[in-house]
Amino acid sequence: MKSSLGLLLMLVVGSEAESLSEALKQTKVEGYIRGTYQHHDVKEDRVYKDDAIGGKLHLETGELGGISVGASLYTSYALFHDDNRGLIPLRGDSHKSYSILGEAYIKATFAKNLLTVGLQEIETPFAQVDDIGMVPNSFEAVMFQSQMVQNTTLTMGHIVKMAGVDAPIVDKFSNINEDRGMQLVGIAYEGIEDLTLQAWYYNLDKAELDSIIFLESDYEKSIDNIAYGFGLQYAKEGYSVGADANVYGVTASLMAQNIGLTVRGAYTEVKDNGANSGFGGGAFYSNSEYLILDNAGANGKATWYGVEYEASNSLEGLTVGLGRVTLENSDKAKATEVDLVLSYEMSDAFEVHAIASNLKGTNVGEDDAKHLRIFANYNF
């Protein structure tokens, strides 16, 4: 990776000064300021509280010969509480406030291809940002994306390190699969009206979870004021020890567009071994805010259903959602989570989100607890 970065840097530095100066003048600065508060009331224990203020500052130069350079600094600082037990981590190592250079990349665009080398945010089914706390996941990687074929996106990558909310060490980049990393290739096809197809393969040489094959198809259609959708997914997760896991998922949704009301349901089950959502929030339809299919263990099941209301007719920018997930393990023991989600986008710049959750998770090794998470973003 260092040699790739060096080659791209030489291309930039070796370009004429006037063009380089112009590219620097076109540098874009953007990001957000974020505040977060969490309240975790654990049954037969006590209330845990945590809060933080911070955000993201992102810079990216203009292109010079198709090449640009970007970087992002993320911060998270405690305000009044620093009690992170059972919460989405807002702290770094040893519960410290921290800053981290989460992105530092060189990007090369040529024809309909994009090559990104360095620290970067990534969105794939099993390696993703999962921006649910103060600092999202980011990765050290080489990523290549091509749209040379009409209606088709090809993605290839080699990921070696990870930091962020789901990483083993939140505030420091640490290895994925020791020094061997993870390789991935994916194809998404949108050439059939209303239908999206995608297929992915992840390789983790010599790891306990050493491969993932993921297939997904999603169909969405609108007729007059009614929109509906269906989805199917399958994952084969290969384990170096024990049986491979086979995951099957289905989802369906129905929306009355004139009143902004959507009803959706999903069912996922894993056979032969336990599911693994990878490096991020996971791709499975039934994953919820806290309880996910992984928690159900080998031969587990997850059922999710919910309703969402976009209140554009009464209060522009307000969305209210209510959802429930039920996990069932191989012993037929169940765990549940009910989530009430409120999102209010007051403007393009300012938004507030609140998630209240009632978890009954002791049957799958999680808490019985009531959890509240509130965060506000000012985007610039």
Q: What is the pLDDT of residues 311-335, one digit of tens each?
A: 977 789 999 999 999 999 999 999 9
How many helices (H) and strands (E) the chain has is answered by: 2, 21
**Position 86: which residue type?**
G
Strands (E), 26-112: 28-42, 47-60, 67-77, 98-110
- Nearest alpha-carbon partner for 282 in 128, 145, 153: 128
Which residue ranges of the chain lie beneath pLDDT 50? 3-5, 7-17
- In this prediction, residue 18 carries a pLDDT of 57
Please give the Cα distance from 282 to 139 (Å, whole number). 16
Contacts of 369 (CB under 8 A, 6+ apart): 40, 41, 42, 43, 86, 359, 361
- In this prediction, residue 134 carries a pLDDT of 94
- In this prediction, residue 314 carries a pLDDT of 79
- In this prediction, residue 51 carries a pLDDT of 94
Q: Give the pTM.
A: 0.91
CB 90 within 8 A of CB 77: no
Q: Where are the alpha helices (DSSP H) in 154-302?
A: none
Q: What is the pLDDT of residues 56-90, one digit of tens each?
A: 999 999 999 999 999 999 999 999 988 877 678 88
- Tokens found for residue 193: 């009206």
- In this prediction, residue 2 carries a pLDDT of 52
